[in-house]
Amino acid sequence: MKFGVLVFPGSNCDHDTFHVVDAIAQQPVTFLWHASEDLQGCDAILVPGGFAYGAYLRTGAIAKFAPVMQSVAKFAKGGGLVLGICNGFQILCEAGLLPGALMRNAGQNYICKQTFLRTETVDSPFTHGLSRGQVLQMPIGHMEGNYFCDAETLAALKREDRIAFRYATPSGEITAEANPNGSLENIAGVLSEGRNVLGMMPHPDRSSEGLLGSSDGLLLFQAMAQSLAGARQVKL
């Protein structure tokens, strides 16, 4: 069982993500270079935060053409686990692996702050260790985190229980005040149709150790490891 962390020119959370998987979750992990199509036999792919290719044109718009993303797309379509964090979420949307788009924050400002997320579904390899309604604390740091999709897509996300997290108050209330960036219906993370791809703007990689103010993010990485271990046992 091995995790792979993508590295693009401009990535700045790749080492944070690697550290969490390696030192905190204690799982095998390797870096995957953007110019290579080789996923090195990884069982889960992590698309980290940062500013891939300088976030020029539109966040994620260039990264989606990277050779490694062609392999990630095939991997995801085959049921492989993929987690996109912040810029990684933007890249997955641009690549068509997740629905919707991330627009500029409603206030037109870069936002870096702690947020609270309400768990909306536990039916996924990323959230099965949580409880529906459980509130997690994770930081955000982005300029384009305002999630949007059309009415038909939103209806499908709701109907299929594919909204993973919503911005909330510390007590779990969904309010306008708890929404930091104007995201549609406070959406902070969504799942793919196959439920094996998750994109989210908040950073579990920056909230996996108590010294950072919260270790809630570690729960997602642990859930992924448990899902992979379970799948491996089934194959055996």
**What confidence tens digit (pLDDT) does each residue in 126-147 have?**
999 999 999 999 999 999 999 9
Average per-residue pLDDT for the chain? 96
> Distance between CA atoms of 224 and 107, rounded to whole angstroms?
34
Query: In the prediction, which pLDDT does 162 show?
Result: 98
Q: Which CATH number fits the domain 3-235, given the four candidates 1.20.1740.10, 1.10.10.10, 3.40.50.880, 3.40.250.10?
A: 3.40.50.880
Q: How far is CA 235 from CA 88, 197, 228, in A?
A: 30, 21, 11
Give percent of the chain with pLDDT exceeding 90: 94
Q: What is the pLDDT of residue 58?
A: 84
What number of other Cβ atoms are within 10 A of residue 132's Cβ?
A: 12
Q: What is the distance between the alpha carbons of residues 187 and 185, in angstroms, rounded to a whole number?
A: 5
What is the side-by-side strand order in the sheet with 81-85? Answer: 29-33, 3-7, 44-47, 81-85, 197-200, 187-191, 163-168, 111-119, 135-142
The band of 56, judged by pLDDT with boundaries at 50, 70 and 90, is confident
**Predicted confidence band of residue 230 (pLDDT cuts 50, 70, 90):** confident
Average pLDDT over residues 84-112: 97
CA distance 182 to 132: 23
Domain parsing of the chain, residue ranges: 3-235
Indicate whether 234 pLDDT > 80: no
pLDDT at 236 over 70: no
